[in-house]
Amino acid sequence: MDSNFLLVVGLVLGLLLLLVGIVSSVVGRGSIVEERLGQYSETGQLSYGMEETADRERERSTPLSDFFNRMGEGTDLFDGISRDLARADIKLRPAEYIAGRFISGIIGGALGYFATGQSILFGIVLFFIGLFIPPFYVGFAKKRRLKSFDNQLSDMINLMVNGLRAGFSILQAMESVSRELPSPISDEFRRVVQEVQLGLSIEDALDHLIRRINSDDLDLVITAINVQREVGGNLAEILDTISHTIRERVRIKGQIAALTAQGRATGWVIAALPFALTGILFAVNREYIMVLFEPATRGCGIPLVILALVMVITGMIAVQKIVSIDI
């Protein structure tokens, strides 16, 4: 059996194992901060011993990842990665995420190199494509989670308003949100309640919440709560007005999404069509495509490929900007 074929099979299996590891990390245990917060019940008492906590942290961490996380702790790069991972609800640390990007790039480059007859050019191209797959997934997860959070925000405000009118404090109203509503909004407010129970002020806990959830509607709610705590006023009435505004914004956004669906779909189809056609031609008539990369013609072929990529990306961005309407 061809050794190159065995190597390709091994790389494919490695990629599958990497994907399984990422998925298990995403849907598995929470981050270290969440594990520490999870030690405490709603009454503020420890739910398990310190020995079990240490064992869980040792199981999750490795000496290498701990070393790189300590090296990058406090830097802008690691802070930005941590913020993005928190907003996407991906249970990875910055060093693990960076290692995953390089592994994805190496696997993509190796697949491109051996699948195209040891072509260095395709290997480099797929290496960079592999590098950008994890950020693309993180961005997609951030948008999906933010959209789900915004859709639940009106129900959350209504539940808080009812609780405040029934005589609850702000913290008790947030605790009822964490019990009654589904994820992700229940998870975020449960964390706010746990942080307050651990000694943080409500203002600091809400600042942490807006750092994890970059939502304009949530920022409006948190601003109203902070202003009410400083100057007083009827918070239930203020939140009721904000809830009506948010519901109208969500309704208008839905109408705009329905009206611009055809334009967005057209943009994706137009952007994907050149790549699909190139792949089909490469599979059917490989020599026809490789003319662009032969030594005698690569001086003209490679600039044409780069120009085509730039035009496709520019067109896709322009279409998305046209159909993107801020409310």
What are the backbone angles phi and psi of residue 40, rounded to the nearest 5°?
-105, 135
Distance from C-alpha of 14 to C-alpha of 111, rounded to nearest angstrom: 11
Q: Per residue in 87-134, pLDDT tens?
A: 888 888 887 888 888 888 888 888 877 776 677 777 787 888 888 888
- Tell me the HSE value of 322 on the side-chain side, using a 13 A CA sphere: 15
SS3 119: coil
Nearest one of 141, 144, 128 to 84, comparing CA atoms: 141
Distance from C-alpha of 21 to C-alpha of 62, rounded to nearest angstrom: 15
pLDDT at 22 (0 to 100): 55
Q: Domain 147-258: which topology?
A: Receptor-associated Protein (1.20.81)
**Cα 192 off chain centre by:** 20
Q: Per residue in 272-305, pLDDT tens?
A: 888 888 888 888 888 888 888 788 887 888 888 8
Nearest one of 272, 262, 259 to 315, comparing CA atoms: 272
Q: Per residue in 159-201, pLDDT tens?
A: 999 988 888 888 899 999 988 888 889 988 999 999 998 888 8
Bond from prior residue into 184 cis (ω within 30 degrees of 0): yes
SS3 1: coil
Provide the b/e sequence for 63-94 (b: ≥16 CB within 10 Å): eebeebbeebeeeeebeebbebbbbbbbbbbb
Over range 31-40, report the average pLDDT. Answer: 47
Over range 242-255, report the average pLDDT. Answer: 85
Distance from C-alpha of 61 to C-alpha of 53, rounded to nearest angstrom: 12
Distance from C-alpha of 15 to C-alpha of 302, rounded to nearest angstrom: 29
pLDDT at 270 (0 to 100): 85
pTM: 0.63
Provide the b/e sequence for 227-243 (b: ≥16 CB within 10 Å): ebeeeeeebbebbbebb
Q: Do 153 and 114 meet the contact criterion of CB atoms below 8 Å apart?
A: no
